[in-house]
């Protein structure tokens, strides 16, 4: 019996790892799947656990107000030590580039436990942008044994970094698996409290921005661009999902609260987020997951960052890197709101990130690595 311990702590991790957990559970005679959450984020994490009916075997519950990266790292390392010694898993599975993922991988390395990394190989080649995610994912690659790359570019990055090709598996991104699941199981309508705040007949711009590098002046620039857009396009409404981070909320509410045709929402459940993307005209975000989800729903994405580790959307033409300069954000959104041809060009591009079978490929790769399958799984192809 192969024992796999899956570790995650935030909502984006939970969304992307949930399809893999469900796939692992399909092989009870071969694989014992254990789940540990750190609760680096608490409330938003719990929403996804309930949505996918995942019941953790362990909950470190490390979240505290205004916690630092050092505190998160230390709490995860200390919390995992005794659990790893007790469970002795064959594989510790992490997702993405959070501090939870990095610290859990390091804890496994200290116990000489193999590490599998979902969404491996993403790079910006700037260690401070995004911070700390770029270094987190690089360090996971150093101690990792199985690297589940979502795209060819990500796989190439791993090879360039000196990772053995035998441990790299091209799977597609599991977020598309999660998206397809929600589209099948969730209805079309938004919750009444949200619908009641939207103006019927308006085109709305969905906004979500929260990254550390965008706090302060960059966030102010984004907000000023949004104000200009609502003033210049009376048929447009901004729907802003405002992160729980007090530093985000301080800026956003100061500049945008009580402004005409700007709706400020608390972070919504994942199915509601998908519905908001689907009903939107355009998405402006610094979120990695939304960069991947929106193209599946035919929505152009303006990426509110200087760099992105997901260049495939930029190359395909369904996303555009616009940074946080007020004039640039305004100009690019203006173009899509006023130019039907430019909008169509972005909205009709095929999603380069996945086909809904990434979790299957991931689990088949794990079975292959540990000798439960004789054949290496086929790679994802756009």
Catalytic residue, chosen from 13, 87, 119, 286, is: 119
**Helix segments in the chain, DSSP class H:** 11-24, 43-51, 69-87, 99-110, 133-143, 152-160, 174-185, 192-195, 217-232, 246-256, 270-279, 288-296, 311-316, 326-338, 340-347, 358-369
Residue 212 among the catalytic residues: yes
The residue annotated as part of the active site, out of 41, 147, 210, 305, is: 210
Single out the catalytic residue among 46, 212, 269, 355: 212
The whole-angstrom separation of Cα 186 and Cα 337 is 29
Catalytic residue at 181? Answer: no
Annotated catalytic residue, options 97, 237, 292, 293: 97
Q: Which of 11, 123, 243, 361 is catalytic?
A: 243
SS3 93: strand
User: Which of 203, 219, 295 has its CA nearest to residue 252?
Assistant: 219
CB 160 within 8 A of CB 169: no
Nearest to 175 by CA among 363, 380, 376, 353: 353
Q: Is 286 a catalytic residue?
A: no
Catalytic residue among 87, 133, 177, 208: 133
Whether 97 is catalytic: yes
Q: Which helix (H) or strand (E) holds 237?
A: strand 236-241
Question: E strand or H helix at 370, and its extent?
Answer: none
User: Does the active-site annotation cover 243?
Assistant: yes
Question: Known catalytic residue: 119?
Answer: yes
Q: Which residues are designated catalytic? A: 97, 119, 133, 210, 212, 243
């Amino acid at each position: 019996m192969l024992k796999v311990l899956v570790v995650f702590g935030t909502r984006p991790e939970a969304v992307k790892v949930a399809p893999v957990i469900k796939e692992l559970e399909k092989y009870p005679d071969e694989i014992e799947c254990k789940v540990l959450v750190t609760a680096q984020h608490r409330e938003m994490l719990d929403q996804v656990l309930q949505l996918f009916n995942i019941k953790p075997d362990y909950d470190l519950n490390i979240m505290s107000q205004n916690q630092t990266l050092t505190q998160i790292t230390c709490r995860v390392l200390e919390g995992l030590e005794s659990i790893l010694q007790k469970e002795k898993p064959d594989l510790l599975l992490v997702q993405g580039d959070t501090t939870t993922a990095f610290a859990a991988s390091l804890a496994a390395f200290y116990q000489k436990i193999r590490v599998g990394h979902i969404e491996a190989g993403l790079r910006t080649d700037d260690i401070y942008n995004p911070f700390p995610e770029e270094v987190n994912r690089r360090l996971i690659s150093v101690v990792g044994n199985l690297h589940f790359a979502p795209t060819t570019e990500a796989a190439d990055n791993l090879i360039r970094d000196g990772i053995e090709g035998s441990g790299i598996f091209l799977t597609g991104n599991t977020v598309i698996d999660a998206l397809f699941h929600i589209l099948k199981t969730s209805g079309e309508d938004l919750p009444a409290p949200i619908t009641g705040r939207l103006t019927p007949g308006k085109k709305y711009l969905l906004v979500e921005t929260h990254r550390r590098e965008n706090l302060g002046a960059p966030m102010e620039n984004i907000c000023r661009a949004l104000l200009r857009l609502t003033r210049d396009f009376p048929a447009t409404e901004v729907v802003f999902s405002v992160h729980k981070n007090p530093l985000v909320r301080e800026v956003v509410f100061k500049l945008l609260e009580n402004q005409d045709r700007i709706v400020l929402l608390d972070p919504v459940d994942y199915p509601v987020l998908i519905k908001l993307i689907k009903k939107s005209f355009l998405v402006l975000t610094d979120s990695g997951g939304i960069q991947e989800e929106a193209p599946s729903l035919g929505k152009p994405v303006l990426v509110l960052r200087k760099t992105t580790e997901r260049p495939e959307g930029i190359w395909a033409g369904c996303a555009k890197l616009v940074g946080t300069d007020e004039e640039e954000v305004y100009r690019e959104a203006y173009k899509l709101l006023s130019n039907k041809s430019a909008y169509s060009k972005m909205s009709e591009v095929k999603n380069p990130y996945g086909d809904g079978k990434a979790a299957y490929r991931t689990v088949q790769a794990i079975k292959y690595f540990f000798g439960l399958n004789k054949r290496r799984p086929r790679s994802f192809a756009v």
